[in-house]
A and B are shown apart, each in its own frame.
Chain A
Amino acid sequence: MITKRIARWFDDRLRASSFAHHALNKVFPDDWSFMLGEIALYAFVVLVLTGTFLTFFFEPSSRQIVYHGSYAPLRGVSMSEAYASVLRISFDVRGGLVFRQMHHWAADLFVAAIVAHMMRIFFTGAFRRPREINWIIGVTLLLLGIFNGFTGYSMPDDLLSGTGLRIAYSIALSIPFAGTWIAFLVFGGEFPAQDIIRRLLIVHIMIMPALLAGLIVAHLAILWHQKHSQFPGPGRTETNVVGSKLFPTYTAKSLGLFFGITAVLGAMGGLLQINPVWLYGPFKAQAVSSPAQPDWYLGWLEGALRLFPSWEIRAFGHSIPNPFFPAVVLPTFTFGMLYAWPFLEAHFAADREEHQLLNRPRDHPLRTAIGTMAFTFYALLLLAGSNDIIAKALRVPVNGVTWVLRILALTLPVLVALVAFRSMKALRESEAPGLLHVPWSAFRHRSQRAESDRSKAELGSRR
C-alpha cells in the first residue's frame, strides 16, 4: 500500500510509469558467461566503498617522520607520513586492515573480470556491429583500470611500491624527445621527488574514478539501448531477445551476485594477506625489495622488461633506451590492436552487417586462433615477470629461465594458434558438441568437407 502511494507521488512529478514498466519488463538473455562483466561492475562498487573509507585515513605526504605507532618492529624507524598512515590503517583503524585488503583484492578482481569479460566478447564476436563503441569503451576501461591499480599500489610509499615508481620513472625517461620533460613534470623533478604521492592520490581518487564511473555508465546505457546479444538457439533470431525479465528474476540474481562477490572479497580481505607493506619496510632510495613483482595486471609489462634483450638505439648523441621498446612500444601496440580489432576484422572479413546473434569460437577459426595466440603470448610475459622466482623454485640459473621464456614467447603462441585453428575447423565440420567428442577423422578429412562446401556455394551462385 505504502509503496503504491510512493510510486504515485513520484509518477505525479516525473511521469515515470511508462519508462519503469518498460524497464522492469526488459529481457536479458541468460548465459553464465554474460555474468563476467557484472562481476567487474560489482568489484568496482566494492572498490569505491572500501576506497572511500581508506581515504579518510590516508596521508599523502612524503615528509619524513619517526614512527611511534603500535607496530613494534618499525618503532623508531624514519619513514614518510604516507607510509605511517598506511601502518595506522592496517593496525589501529577498526576494520582498517580488512578494508585495505578488500580494496586490494577487489582491484585485482576488477581487472581480472574485465579481461575475462573481454575474452568472452572477443571469442563470441560480440564486438561486431553495432557494438564497436562499447568495445572501445571497454578497452578504455581496461586501460584505466590497470593504470589506476598502479597508482593505487604506488601510494603507500613502501619499498615495493617505491621500486615500481622508480621503474615507471625510468620508462618515462626512455621516451624519445620529451622523455626527460615528461618524467620531471609527472614526478615533480628527478626521482625520488617529493610531490609524487599527493599527485598519485589526486589521480587515484578523483580523476580516474570519475572517468571510470562515467565510462561504466555509458557502457551500461549503450548496452541497455542496444539490448544484449545472445547465442543462437531455438526461437532466438537476429530480431528478438530471449531470456529473463529485469524484474524480479534478473534483479534478484544480480543483487545476489553483488552480495556474493562482496562476501568473497570480505573473506579474502580478512583471511588472505595481500601487500603486507609493514614487511617490506619504508621506501629508501638505496634499498630494494627482492623478489619484486607488481600486481598481476602489470606482470606482462614486467615480464616484457625482463625478456627484452639488451638492445637499444644510440646514434648522433641521442639514444632510445632499452625500456622504451618493451614498456612503451609494446603496450601502445597492444592497446592499439585492441582498439582497432573490430574495424580490422570488419575490413578483412568484409563483414559490415549488424549482428545480434553471437558466434561460437568454432564459427570463426581464424579469430579464435589469433585470440589464443595473443592470450598465450601475454600469459608467457606474465610468467616471465616472475623469472627469478621460477629460477629459485626450480633451482636453475635465472639467465637460463629468461632464455627459455624468450624462445617460448616467440614460438609457443604460434603453435597454440595452429592447434586452435585446426581444432576449431574440426569442431565446426564434425558438428561435435565439444572438443573431446571430435572424431580423429575430422582433423584429417578437412579438405573434403571444404570442397563440398565450395561446390555448394558455386551451385548457389549459379542459381
Chain B
Amino acid sequence: MASIGLTVLYGFGGQPQIEGALIFVALGGISLGLILWGKHLMPQGPFVEEREPMHSSPEEREAFALDFFQSEEGIKRRTFLGRALLAALGALGVAAIFPIRSLGPAPGTSLFRTAWRKGSRLVRSDGTAVTAQDVQVGGLLTVFPEGHVDAADSQTVLIRVDPNGFRPLPGRESWSPEGYLAYSKICTHAGCPVGLYEQASNRLFCPCHQSVFDVLRGAEPTAGPATRPLPQLPLEVDGSGYLRAQSDFDEPVGPGFWNDGGNRRP
C-alpha cells in the first residue's frame, strides 16, 4: 500500500516528509513481517555445530612448507634474483613520485606573502575603496587589497579604536593612523576567519576554537588555543583620504607551519 503511495507521490512531484513516512511504513512493514516470520514460524534452535581448531594439522603444515620452499630451491642464485626484483620495484616506486608531484604547486614563498603591496588601497569585498571617514570608532570592516578581493590569504579586519585610549606597540607607532588598526583576519591557530568583534572589551573572537585576541595589544592571544598574535598590516592615509597599506605583512599570516621562521613575536 505504502509502496503504491510512494509511486503516486513521486509522480506528483513529491514532498520530503510524506516520502520519508511512506518509506518507513513500506520497508518497516516488510521488516516486521520478516522478523515475525523468523521468530515464530521458522525452526527455533538451539542448534549445535562443532568447531574445528583454527590451526592446520602438522601434516598439512609440512606439506605446505615442502611445496613452497622446494619450488624455490630449484632456482639458483635466489638472493641475487630477489635483490634485483627489489631494486626494480624500488625504482618504479621512485618513478611513481613524479606524477604525484603534479597534484599541486611548490609551496615556495607563497605562504610568506599575501597580495598586499606598498600603497595598496583598502577595499571592501565589493571592490569599493575605504576612506578615513568610513568607519566609526568601535566599527569593523573586512578589507582586501585593491584588485585582489578574491585573495583569501589577504583578508584583513579593519577596526577603528579611540586613538586617545590606545598606545601602539613599540616599533608600530606609525601603523595606525587615526585609530585605524588592521590585522590579518585568518586565525593563527587553524585558519578560520576571526570574525567576531566585541567592541566593549576590544577583543576579536575566533568562532571555530574560541581563541581570543586583544586588539589594543597587537592582537595578542588572551584565551583559547591560539599561540600567536594576528599579524598587523601597517596603514597610512593618502592625500585624498584613502586608507593604504604601507607594505605587506611583515610575517606569514594564518596558521603556523614547519619553516615559518619560528621567531615571530611571542
A235 to B50 alpha-carbon distance, docked (Å): 12
Please tell me if the beta carbons of B103 and A288 are within 8 angstroms of each other in the complex.
no
- Residues on A with beta carbons closer than 8 Å to the beta carbon of B38: 248-253, 256
- Residues on A with beta carbons closer than 8 Å to the beta carbon of B47: 25, 27, 242-245
Please tell me if the beta carbons of B257 and A179 are within 8 angstroms of each other in the complex.
yes
- Residues on A with beta carbons closer than 8 Å to the beta carbon of B65: none
Q: How far is the CB of B36 from chain A (nearest CB, A)?
A: 8
The CB with the most chain A CB atoms within 10 A, among B51, B100, B153, B193, is that of B51
A267 to B44 alpha-carbon distance, docked (Å): 32
Chain B 252-265 near chain A by CB (<8 Å), digits 1 or 0: 00111111111110
Please tell me if the beta carbons of B227 and A252 are within 8 angstroms of each other in the complex.
no
Contacting residue for B39 out of A95, A253, A266, A402, CB 8 A:
A253
A24 to B6 alpha-carbon distance, docked (Å): 35
- Residues on B with beta carbons closer than 8 Å to the beta carbon of A314: 262-264
Please tell me if the beta carbons of A266 and B27 are within 8 angstroms of each other in the complex.
yes
Asked if B110 is at the interface of the complex by the 8 Å CB criterion, the answer is yes
Asked if B28 is at the interface of the complex by the 8 Å CB criterion, the answer is yes
- Residues on B with beta carbons closer than 8 Å to the beta carbon of A130: 54
The CB with the most chain A CB atoms within 10 A, among B47, B48, B100, B190, is that of B190
Identify which of residues 1-42 in chain B touch chain A, using a CB-to-CB cut-off of 8 Å.
10, 13-14, 16-21, 23-28, 30-35, 37-39, 42
- Residues on B with beta carbons closer than 8 Å to the beta carbon of A173: 111, 255-257
Please tell me if the beta carbons of B24 and A263 are within 8 angstroms of each other in the complex.
yes
Please tell me if the beta carbons of B189 and A322 are within 8 angstroms of each other in the complex.
yes
Please tell me if the beta carbons of A321 and B257 are within 8 angstroms of each other in the complex.
yes
Asked if A376 is at the interface of the complex by the 8 Å CB criterion, the answer is no
- Residues on B with beta carbons closer than 8 Å to the beta carbon of A245: 43, 45, 47
Please tell me if the beta carbons of A98 and B16 are within 8 angstroms of each other in the complex.
yes
Chain A residue with Cβ nearest B211: A310
Asked if A453 is at the interface of the complex by the 8 Å CB criterion, the answer is no
Please tell me if the beta carbons of B191 and A170 are within 8 angstroms of each other in the complex.
yes
Identify which of residues 265-285 in chain A touch chain B, using a CB-to-CB cut-off of 8 Å.
266-271, 285
Task: Kindly specify which of B127-135, B160-168, B217-225, B239-247 makes contact with the partner chain.
Answer: B217-225
Chain B residue with Cβ nearest A402: B210
Asked if A344 is at the interface of the complex by the 8 Å CB criterion, the answer is no
A319 in contact with B190 given A242-B48, A285-B152 (CB within 8 Å)? no
A226 to B189 alpha-carbon distance, docked (Å): 48
Asked if A174 is at the interface of the complex by the 8 Å CB criterion, the answer is yes
Please tell me if the beta carbons of B104 and A270 are within 8 angstroms of each other in the complex.
no
Q: How far is the CB of A99 from chain B (nearest CB, A)?
A: 9
Which range contains the number of B residues in contact with the other chain? 35 or more
Please tell me if the beta carbons of A317 and B262 are within 8 angstroms of each other in the complex.
yes
Contacting residue for B53 out of A193, A320, A354, CB 8 A:
A354
Task: Kindly specify which of A106-114, A182-190, A419-427 makes contact with the partner chain.
Answer: A182-190
Q: Offer 10 A-B interface pairs, CB within 8 angstroms, sorted by A.
A: A173-B256, A183-B107, A189-B110, A235-B46, A243-B45, A262-B23, A263-B26, A286-B185, A314-B262, A322-B256
A259 in contact with B42 given A189-B105, A270-B16 (CB within 8 Å)? no
- Residues on A with beta carbons closer than 8 Å to the beta carbon of B190: 166-167, 170-171, 305, 323
Please tell me if the beta carbons of B51 and A240 are within 8 angstroms of each other in the complex.
yes
Q: How far is the CB of A220 from chain B (nearest CB, A)?
A: 17
- Residues on A with beta carbons closer than 8 Å to the beta carbon of B33: 256
A181 to B196 alpha-carbon distance, docked (Å): 31
Asked if A139 is at the interface of the complex by the 8 Å CB criterion, the answer is no
- Residues on A with beta carbons closer than 8 Å to the beta carbon of B202: none
A229 to B197 alpha-carbon distance, docked (Å): 58
Asked if B49 is at the interface of the complex by the 8 Å CB criterion, the answer is yes
A193 in contact with B104 given A170-B255, A245-B45, A260-B31 (CB within 8 Å)? yes
Asked if B199 is at the interface of the complex by the 8 Å CB criterion, the answer is no
- Residues on A with beta carbons closer than 8 Å to the beta carbon of B191: 166-167, 169-170, 191
Asked if B237 is at the interface of the complex by the 8 Å CB criterion, the answer is no
A449 to B191 alpha-carbon distance, docked (Å): 58
- Residues on A with beta carbons closer than 8 Å to the beta carbon of B227: 310-312, 321-322
A245 to B46 alpha-carbon distance, docked (Å): 9
Asked if B192 is at the interface of the complex by the 8 Å CB criterion, the answer is yes
A248 to B58 alpha-carbon distance, docked (Å): 37
A183 to B134 alpha-carbon distance, docked (Å): 38
Please tell me if the beta carbons of A402 and B224 are within 8 angstroms of each other in the complex.
yes
A259 to B27 alpha-carbon distance, docked (Å): 5
Identify which of residues 55-92 in chain B touch chain A, using a CB-to-CB cut-off of 8 Å.
none
Asked if A435 is at the interface of the complex by the 8 Å CB criterion, the answer is no
A367 to B209 alpha-carbon distance, docked (Å): 34
Chain B 132-165 near chain A by CB (<8 Å), digits 1 or 0: 0000000000100000001011010000000000
- Residues on B with beta carbons closer than 8 Å to the beta carbon of A258: 31
- Residues on B with beta carbons closer than 8 Å to the beta carbon of A191: 152, 191
Asked if A13 is at the interface of the complex by the 8 Å CB criterion, the answer is no
Identify which of residues 301-335 in chain A touch chain B, using a CB-to-CB cut-off of 8 Å.
302, 305-312, 314-323, 326
- Residues on B with beta carbons closer than 8 Å to the beta carbon of A288: 192-193, 195, 207-208
Please tell me if the beta carbons of A94 and B207 are within 8 angstroms of each other in the complex.
no
Please tell me if the beta carbons of B259 and A180 are within 8 angstroms of each other in the complex.
yes
- Residues on B with beta carbons closer than 8 Å to the beta carbon of A269: 16, 20, 23
A367 to B132 alpha-carbon distance, docked (Å): 66
Contacting residue for B210 out of A187, A239, A398, CB 8 A:
A398
Asked if B94 is at the interface of the complex by the 8 Å CB criterion, the answer is no
Identify which of residues 229-244 in chain A touch chain B, using a CB-to-CB cut-off of 8 Å.
235, 238-244
A287 in contact with B193 given A97-B16, A270-B17, A402-B210 (CB within 8 Å)? yes
